[in-house]
Amino acid sequence: MSMVVLIGYQAYDIARSDYGFSRSEGAFLLGLLGLAQFVPLLLLTPVAGWAADRFDRRIVAGFANLVDCTVAAVLAFLTWSDGLTLPALFTLAAMHGAARVFVGPAMSAIAPNIVPENLLPRAIALSSIAWQIASVIGPAAGGFLFAEAQWSPHAISAILLVGSAVLINTVRPIRAEQDAAPAHPLRQMIEGAQFTWRQKFLLGCITLDLFAVLLGGATAMLPVFARDILAVGPQGLGIMRGAPAVGASLVALWMAWRPLEHNVGPKMLWAVVVFGMATIAFGLSRNFTLSLAMLVLLGAADMISVFIRSSLVQLNTPDRMRGRVSSISGLAISASNELGEMQSGLAAAVLGATGAVVFGGAGAVVVTALWAWMFPQLRQARTFAPEFLPDSIESKTAPKETVP
């Protein structure tokens, strides 16, 4: 997590200091950096989903982590040797995006294979706690380490990614359930897209995040707020970047103890509305403490939405399709993040950083209202049970002997 944050800060700082970019030009550059991470995601998502459904999911995730480790190591070396340039940062950002697209589907599909269905929501909450704790510690620690030795956070990221790959390999071998001989890889990729498109409930869940967070994401502008608006520097950037994870961690901890069970669809929609309103308040704030509070609030609201959506998508998808559906869901999440950064950069070039964040927050609220009307299944979801899965598909989710 700290690697992503620092790539953005380094790109913005180099653009302003070495290339003489203005504040608006630097903000636009951050949008282009998000696009550089998204293009590999867009191109490789079908392949990543197919790989997660065809091969051992541990191996897919572990290999992708090792690729990401290489990115971190190169970043550390170039930063240490003072050889970092904008082209190098864009190339490494693209490689990071390519590695991440394979991690997401494989890791998301593993959980339902090793956790009983009735415990899956709690497992997702516990997993979210671990992720959010890392999101708090990573950016904050990265900011302070960067201030002391700019190469050190990237070097530590490389070491941790190696450890992650080793730990993933300790899980028992996991392959998707197959009810027939595997079809041609291209055909399997198309089947995953067709399944998601036809299941309107899944489509609504996935695209809600895509469009709401695409508009409402404020993280791309954090370097601008840290350097030029709130004037808190890289340390303040690390704290701000970790603030949403504080709110998310607290909510995830509560839901691991007292998981949501009723009216989950309406709660998901209202959580996105709160996310948008908190984003607006952050954009308007000029007080560092208030800005942190709004980031904590939007992180908490986003965690509720993510928790509900992840549980609904996993439990309403047959195992043989989980890798491909997870890859499409991951693409939507990444599109909301990376394209959201692009949208924020473009909007900031016209409206300024404050205007871009406020406009995005308002857009998230409008999108939520539209999705509640366009996908009534989201309002009708009362529990996490796979009530929207057609009988013909649901019958195929019963445990079967896996085939290599």
pLDDT tens digits for range 235-244: 788 788 778 8
Please give the pLDDT value at position 213: 67
Please give the pLDDT value at position 143: 72
Domain spans in the chain, listed from the N-terminal domain onward? 2-172+185-390
Pick 365 or 202 by higher pLDDT: 365
- Give mean pLDDT, residues 16-29: 79
Using the predicted structure, report yes or no on whether residue 74 has a pLDDT greater than 90: yes
Nearest to 110 by CA among 71, 58, 70: 58
CB 33 within 8 A of CB 305: no
Please give the pLDDT value at position 157: 87
d(CA 57, CA 115): 15
Confidence of residue 70 (pLDDT cuts 50, 70, 90): very high
Using the predicted structure, report yes or no on whether residue 292 has a pLDDT greater than 80: yes
Structure-derived torsion over alpha carbons of residues 186, 190, 191, 196, reported in degrees to the nearest 10: 150
Confidence of residue 342 (pLDDT cuts 50, 70, 90): low
Q: Of the ranges 16-25, 40-49, 343-352, which one carries the lowest mean pLDDT score? A: 343-352
Please give the pLDDT value at position 400: 41
Amino acid at 226: A
Please give the pLDDT value at position 340: 66
List pLDDT tens digits, range 220-279. 788 888 888 888 887 788 788 778 878 887 887 787 777 777 788 888 899 989 999 999
d(CA 62, CA 311): 24
CATH topology of domain 2-172+185-390: Growth Hormone; Chain: A; (1.20.1250)
Amino acid at 56: D
- Give mean pLDDT, residues 366-379: 87
Please give the pLDDT value at position 392: 43
Please give the pLDDT value at position 216: 61
SS3 content of the chain, % helix, strand, coil (to 5): 85, 0, 15
Using the predicted structure, report yes or no on whether residue 403 has a pLDDT greater than 50: no
Pick 178 or 139 by higher pLDDT: 139
Please give the pLDDT value at position 1: 54
Write down the pTM of the prediction. 0.63
Please give the pLDDT value at position 214: 67
Phi, psi of 80 (to 5 degrees): -65, -40
Phi, psi of 175 (to 5 degrees): -130, 155
Using the predicted structure, report yes or no on whether residue 361 has a pLDDT greater than 70: yes
Using the predicted structure, report yes or no on whether residue 218 has a pLDDT greater than 60: yes
How many of the other CB atoms lie within 10 Å of CB of 21?
17
Please give the pLDDT value at position 73: 92
Q: In the structure encoding, which two tokens stand for residue 123, read together?
A: 């497992």
Please give the pLDDT value at position 184: 59
What's the mean per-residue pLDDT of the chain? 78
Question: What's the DSSP call for residue 387?
Answer: T
Pick 20 or 161 by higher pLDDT: 161
Please give the pLDDT value at position 2: 62
CB 220 within 8 A of CB 30: yes
d(CA 96, CA 196): 26
Please give the pLDDT value at position 135: 64
Please give the pLDDT value at position 181: 53
